[in-house]
Structure 1
Amino acid sequence: MGRYLLRRLLQLIPVFIGTTLIIYLLVWAIPGDPFAGKCGDRGCPPAYIAEMHEKYNLDDPLIVQYFKYLGKLLTGDFGETYAGVQISTLIQNAYPTTIKLAVVALVIEGVIGLAAGILTGLRGRGFLDNLVLVSTLFLISLPVFVTGFVLQITLGSELGIIKPTVSANPSIGELIVPGFVLGSLSMAYVARLTRTAMMENRHADFVRTAVAKGLEPKRVVGVHLLRNSLIPVITFLGTDLGTLMGGAIVTEGVFNIRGIGGLVFKSILTKEGATVTGIVTLLVLVYLLMNLLVDILYAVLDPRIRYD
């Protein structure tokens, strides 16, 4: 396992460099002056533009700019905004809220999705199975922003059960409804993945052997059937957590959540290239680490999988 982890960590290095290089080129290779309109209708003075070009190394070739940026990044320096604010400070203020929202969404989609998938996978076709299939298909076909607006208007404006918008530092309770909205699409996929895997493994040889040995039904389901059926679900949940922690622009916008998604959207509108690059670079790192964690969990769930 130790050699496997070392090999995987080494493999992350070229992937990280490649993805961040592409991101950097896409952000900074856009034609036009990034400082256009920063000083009002008159335009910025030449001295200011020259200072900004020197500060962000814009006069160097793009590849040189990237490696200078990467060198600062390795020391924990994400750079500054055009207004002189540290990007790491912006991330530090916004990311805790996004993490809480992502965890709430993951718990909701995991608990409800797994419960629905396990029940329908064990019971087979019937009323409950048809109900889950129809409801999950409804969630898949419904855009997330529609779900958000409907719950916001119904539960917030009409019934007064929740606040239409969350506070600046929201609690877990305030994030339950936004978390449900954020995880609703993935919850439907988790339910369908679990249902399909359970139905396929119900007739597998290892399940028949466990039943033939006279094991209790709970042990057959919990130890043999469920563990093997969870592998595709864990793959989906692991990668989905990386995506959720990247911030949900639509959900955060509907409920006025001050997280990473809103910060990225605002930075794109204001053409803050340094902020966009820094945040997306952090999200790439999170996504890569979540994929590594998923691979490690494979060996925990399935004893046949060994990393030597």
Structure 2
Amino acid sequence: MGRYVLRRLVQLVPVFLGTTFLIYLLVWAIPGDPFAGKCGDRPCPDAYITRMRAEFHLDDNVVVQYARYLGNLVQGDFGQTFNGTSVGALIAAAYPVTVRLALVALLIEAVIGLAAGVLTGLRSGGYLDNLVLVSTLFLIAIPVFVTGYVLQTVLGLRLGLISPTVSPAAGFGELIVPGFVLGSLSMAYVARLTRTSIAENRRTDYVRTAVAKGLTPRRVVGVHLLRNSAIPVVTFLGVDLGSLMGGAIVTEGIFNIRGVGGLIFRSIQTKEGATVTGVVVLLVVVYLLMNLLVDVLYAVLDPRIRYD
């Protein structure tokens, strides 16, 4: 296992370099004036634009720019915005909030989705199965911003059960409803994926053998059926963590959460390429590490899988 993990870490290096280069290229090579609007309603003076382009090396070849950026990134320097603010400081202030929101969403979708999928997979065709199928289809069909607006209006403005907006501290308790909104779509997919996997594995030979040996239903489901059925679900959940962090723009906007989503949105509006690049690079790291973690969990869930 140790050799496999080490080999995978080495393999992540070219993947990281390739993805971050594409991100850098797409962010900095797009047409448009990055200094548009930086001087108010008037166009920026030519002397200012020349000085800024020289300071941020915008006239260099994009490969040279990326090499310089990568060298600074290795040292923990994410660069600066055009007004001199450290990108690392902006990320340090916004990233923990989005991480908490994504973890709450992931926990909600894993617990509720797995529970609903297991119950309906074991008792397919019943009332609960039809209820879950209709409910998940309902969540899939409704856009996330509609779900967020309805919950904010009903629970926050009308019933007063929650605060309509999240405080700057953004504690875990305040993030339960926004986390449900963010993870609602994935929760529906987890429930359906778990149900399908459970229903398929119920008819396999190893499950019938476990039943024939006289094992209790709890042991058959918990040890034999659920562990093997959880492999596709774990794959989905592992990749979904990065998606939740990168796709939280709408949810953070509805509940006024000062996280990465709002930071990216504002940076795109103001054409702050350094901030966009820094945030997306961190999301790439999350994706790569979560994929590695999922591959390691395969061997834990399925004893037939061994990494030599």
Question: TM over 0.5, yes or no?
Answer: yes
213-222 or 128-137, larger mean C-alpha shift? 213-222
In the other structure, the counterpart of 2:103 is 103
In the other structure, the counterpart of 2:212 is 212
Shift of 1:46: 2.9
TM-score, normalised to structure 2's length?
0.98
1: CA distance, partners of 2:141 / 2:42 = 48
Q: Which amino acid aligns with 1:5?
A: V
In the other structure, the counterpart of 1:58 is 58
Q: Point out 4+ residue stretches in structure 1 off by more than 3 angstroms.
A: none
Unaligned residue ranges in structure 2 (runs of 5+): none
48-57 or 117-126, larger mean C-alpha shift? 48-57
2: CA distance, partners of 1:151 / 1:222 = 35
In the other structure, the counterpart of 1:42 is 42
In the other structure, the counterpart of 1:222 is 222
Is the contact made by 1:98 and 1:247 (CA closer than 8 Å) also made in structure 2? no
In the other structure, the counterpart of 2:175 is 175
1: CA distance, partners of 2:40 / 2:223 = 66
Shift of 1:40: 1.8
Alignment of 1:166-205 (within 5 A): 166-205=166-205
Q: Which amino acid aligns with 1:87?
A: V
2: CA distance, partners of 1:202 / 1:32 = 57
1: CA distance, partners of 2:223 / 2:78 = 46
Alignment of 1:59-138 (within 5 A): 59-138=59-138
Query: Alignment partner of 1:173: what SS?
Result: coil
Shift of 1:247: 4.9
In the other structure, the counterpart of 1:153 is 153
Shift of 1:33: 2.2
Unaligned residue ranges in structure 1 (runs of 5+): none
Deviations 1:125-149 (A, max 9, x none): 1111000000000000110000000
1: CA distance, partners of 2:284 / 2:50 = 31
2: CA distance, partners of 1:173 / 1:34 = 39
1: CA distance, partners of 2:130 / 2:271 = 48
2: CA distance, partners of 1:71 / 1:247 = 28
In the other structure, the counterpart of 1:299 is 299
2: CA distance, partners of 1:32 / 1:127 = 56
In the other structure, the counterpart of 1:144 is 144
TM-score, normalised to structure 1's length?
0.98
Alignment of 1:274-285 (within 5 A): 274-285=274-285
Is the contact made by 1:198 and 1:226 (CA closer than 8 Å) also made in structure 2? yes
In the other structure, the counterpart of 1:272 is 272
State the aligned residue count.
Answer: 308
Superposition RMSD on alpha carbons, in Å? 1.0
In the other structure, the counterpart of 1:253 is 253
In the other structure, the counterpart of 2:163 is 163
Deviations 1:3-61 (A, max 9, x none): 21121111111111111111111111122321122112332233322222122111111
Is the contact made by 1:247 and 1:260 (CA closer than 8 Å) also made in structure 2? no
Shift of 1:124: 2.0
Is the contact made by 1:247 and 1:259 (CA closer than 8 Å) also made in structure 2? no
In the other structure, the counterpart of 2:31 is 31
Is the contact made by 1:118 and 1:194 (CA closer than 8 Å) also made in structure 2? yes
118-127 or 47-56, larger mean C-alpha shift? 47-56
2: CA distance, partners of 1:277 / 1:130 = 45
1: CA distance, partners of 2:197 / 2:37 = 55
